[in-house]
């Protein structure tokens, strides 16, 4: 009996030893496979970061100029190449931001695409989107007539979108192209807004307006929205404001992040747009992205 018990004990020890070795080998192999899987990044997949910047102080002139060049350079290096350089024509949304929500919102808004090559001034990838700039046309007429005027007057100035009093929207520059809607800004505003003149903007049609306003980066880092309105003529129609609400939501969905909202006079002192009657709506757009 003692000999038989000894044999059983020896056999059990051998089984346990062999089982432990197999377990160690299996766990090690699984760990190596998991590490390899974690390190494998699908080809062409690039993560786009959003540049965060609060412009509420910019509008009130209370914030010291911010030095953001290092952050912007790092973000640009991480995201360059995420999209090809756009051409005037049918848009291809950025792969990192656009979703079916953007397409649905665009369809709901009934945006009329009337792209004019003369009004596009260089490529603007998702990495270069920071601001939505609101303007007044300082004139009346339909969005289509505004675009026709821009395209025919030789100034090469336009915004990406025009929103009519009836809520109709015409787009004349693709979102992945630069439009000349902001022009020159106050000295120091490139730094204040954390943007740079990096050579993407062809600057065609631009003319310096004085040493007090030498900065010209905003066009290349923003989307422009013009509202058909003349300052002093009264309130903005509900249909127009609701269309602007939807347009901002569409731009947010297109890029996959929220851009800071400013008006034109925040960029250049003395501009008339947006009007005094828009001030309350502007604050609401900046705080909750809708007009009320």
- Asked if residue 146 and residue 1 are part of one domain, the reply reads no
251: nearest Cα among 99, 122, 142 = 99
- Asked if residue 96 and residue 35 are part of one domain, the reply reads no
Please give the residue range of the domain that contains residue 26. 1-40
Residue 53: both structure tokens together: 């910047």
**C-alpha radius of gyration, the chain, whole number:** 28
- Asked if residue 133 and residue 24 are part of one domain, the reply reads no
Q: How far apart are CA 208 and CA 185, in angstroms?
A: 10
User: Using CB atoms within 10 A of its CB, is residue 230 exposed (0-12), middle (13-18) or buried (19+)?
Assistant: middle
- Asked if residue 70 and residue 17 are part of one domain, the reply reads no
- Asked if residue 169 and residue 138 are part of one domain, the reply reads yes
Residue with the two structure tokens 């034109």: 264
| Full DSSP string of 222-241 | EEEEEE---TTS-PPPHHHH
pLDDT number for residue 93:
53
Q: Helix crossing, 238-255 with 100-109: angle to 10°?
A: 160
- Asked if residue 245 and residue 130 are part of one domain, the reply reads yes
Q: How far apart are CA 208 and CA 27, in angstroms?
A: 68
- Asked if residue 156 and residue 26 are part of one domain, the reply reads no
134: nearest Cα among 161, 111, 106 = 161
- Asked if residue 18 and residue 128 are part of one domain, the reply reads no
pLDDT number for residue 64:
38
- Asked if residue 89 and residue 19 are part of one domain, the reply reads no
Number of domains in the chain: 2
Phi, then psi, of 153 in degrees rounded to 5: -85, -10
Q: How far apart are CA 30 and CA 26, in angstroms?
A: 6
Q: How far apart are CA 193 and CA 58, in angstroms?
A: 8
Residue 25: both structure tokens together: 């080998």
Ordered mean pLDDT values, 10 residues apiece, the chain (292 residues)? 39 38 37 34 31 31 37 40 37 56 96 98 98 97 97 97 98 98 98 98 96 98 98 96 98 97 97 96 98 96
Residue 115: both structure tokens together: 């792209």
- Chain Cα centroid distance, residue 181: 16
Alpha helix locations (H) across 55-130? 56-60, 69-79, 100-109
- Chain Cα centroid distance, residue 104: 18
In the chain, helix, strand, coil percent, each to 5?
40, 10, 50
User: Using CB atoms within 10 A of its CB, is residue 133 exposed (0-12), middle (13-18) or buried (19+)?
Assistant: buried
* Whether residue 274 has a cis bond before it, omega within 30° of 0: yes
Q: Is residue 51 part of a domain?
A: no
Q: How far apart are CA 142 and CA 22, in angstroms?
A: 77
pLDDT number for residue 77:
37
């Amino acid at each position: 009996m003692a000999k038989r018990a000894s044999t059983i004990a020896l056999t059990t020890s051998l089984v346990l030893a062999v089982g432990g070795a197999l377990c160690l080998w299996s766990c090690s192999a699984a760990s190596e496979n998991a590490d390899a899987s974690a390190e494998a990044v699908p080809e062409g997949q690039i993560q786009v970061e959003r540049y965060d910047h609060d412009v509420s102080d910019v509008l009130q002139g209370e914030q010291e100029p911010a030095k953001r060049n290092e952050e912007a350079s790092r973000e640009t290096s991480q995201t360059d190449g995420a999209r090809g350089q756009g051409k005037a024509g049918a848009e291809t949304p950025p792969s990192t931001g656009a979703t079916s929500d953007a397409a649905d919102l665009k369809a709901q808004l009934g945006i009329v695409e009337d792209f004019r090559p003369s009004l596009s001034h260089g490529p603007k990838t998702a990495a270069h989107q920071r601001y939505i700039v609101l303007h007044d046309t300082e004139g009346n007429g339909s969005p289509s007539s505004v675009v026709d005027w821009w395209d025919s007057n030789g100034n090469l100035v336009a915004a990406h979108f025009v929103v009519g009093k009836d809520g109709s929207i015409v787009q004349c520059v693709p979102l992945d192209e630069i439009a000349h809607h902001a022009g020159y800004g106050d000295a120091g505003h490139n730094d204040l807004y954390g943007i740079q003149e990096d050579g993407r903007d062809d600057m065609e049609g631009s003319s310096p307006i004085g040493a007090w306003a030498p900065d010209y980066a905003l066009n290349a880092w923003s989307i422009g929205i013009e509202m058909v309105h003349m300052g002093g003529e009264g309130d903005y129609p509900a249909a127009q404001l609701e269309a602007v609400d939807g347009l901002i939501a569409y731009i947010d969905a297109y890029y996959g992040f929220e851009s800071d909202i400013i008006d034109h006079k925040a960029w250049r002192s003395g501009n008339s747009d947006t009007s005094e009657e828009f001030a309350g709506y502007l604050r609401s757009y900046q705080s909750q992205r809708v007009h009320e």
